[in-house]
Structure 1
């Protein structure tokens, strides 16, 4: 009986620590997206992340003018990380790889400024659905600009979002 009680006392903190770690991991999960039947993952920005840009247009302009990918990208995608305090949009380049047994979608391009924290002044009073609708509208407007059309982004087959579908087909 003493051996069982001592074993429980020694092992219980281990299980508690494992359960605590599991809860932390659930809070900081990766952004996993199903594109058709394919999956790709994007790691969220660190908790202390701050945007270098004042608005979405400045961020998009930076993406267009800087850091083109080093290899061809078929699809550029915008996604959204949501939290109670803020929304962060991200941008990546995706390519699909297929062989005789399987296929996979991989993130082949991550610009240095791949994240942008949406300004609270513009987005804080909106529901998540309204945030997604506004972003989709703003991105569709952006892909119609000369800035976009003269950038490396226009060379891709498509530009999509995780929340609004295709916003630009070639």
Structure 2
């Protein structure tokens, strides 16, 4: 069986096809260049979400993403659920917190390379997963939490 390159359908959904199996995935719009964050650290951002924001329905997977531009990084958080219908898997973004985007302060990444930044980000996220905020939050109901740029599983139920 050959893999057909991904393409977009009329609904601007990304479609992957292998044989008779389709995956349709919603996409998150890239952040605007004028995103301002009221948080000074990733931990503050996450604590706010755990305290004041929660999904309306159960979420199976949380993805931490990273938008990158020249010397600027924005971390994203989305909650997704996967639905199986016929031979299609539909991956839907079903949770975007009030503050979906967190612009990483220049002081955080300084002159770090992308690899060093990802390592630092991974470490900070893993440290957060050991806090009481995480343990008593909506995150704990998910099956998995992933850092998308590396594919690393940060937490699994």
Q: Higher helix fraction: Structure 1 or Structure 2? A: 1
Q: Do the aligned residues in 2 keep the contact of 1:89 with 1:118 (CA within 8 Å)?
A: yes
Within the candidate set 126, 129, 154, 1:140 is matched to 126
**Which residue is equivalent to 1:121?**
107
**Which residue is equivalent to 2:57?**
71
Q: Do the aligned residues in 2 keep the contact of 1:40 with 1:107 (CA within 8 Å)?
A: yes
**Which residue is equivalent to 1:111?**
97
RMSD between superposed Cα atoms in Å: 1.7
TM-score scaled to structure 2, two decimals?
0.81
Deviations 1:113-155 (CA, angstroms, capped at 9, x unpaired): 0110111012031111111111111111111111101101111
SS in 1 for 2:153: strand
Note the residue ranges of structure 2 that are not aligned, 5 or more in a row. Answer: 1-13, 17-21
Correspondence 1:166 to 2:129:
no
Q: Higher strand fraction: Structure 1 or Structure 2? A: 2
**Which residue is equivalent to 2:4?**
none
Taking structure 1 as reference, are residues 130 and 40 closer, same or farther at Cα in structure 2, changes over 3 Å only?
A: farther
Which structure's CA Rg is the greater one? 1
Distance 2:121 2:49 in 1: 16
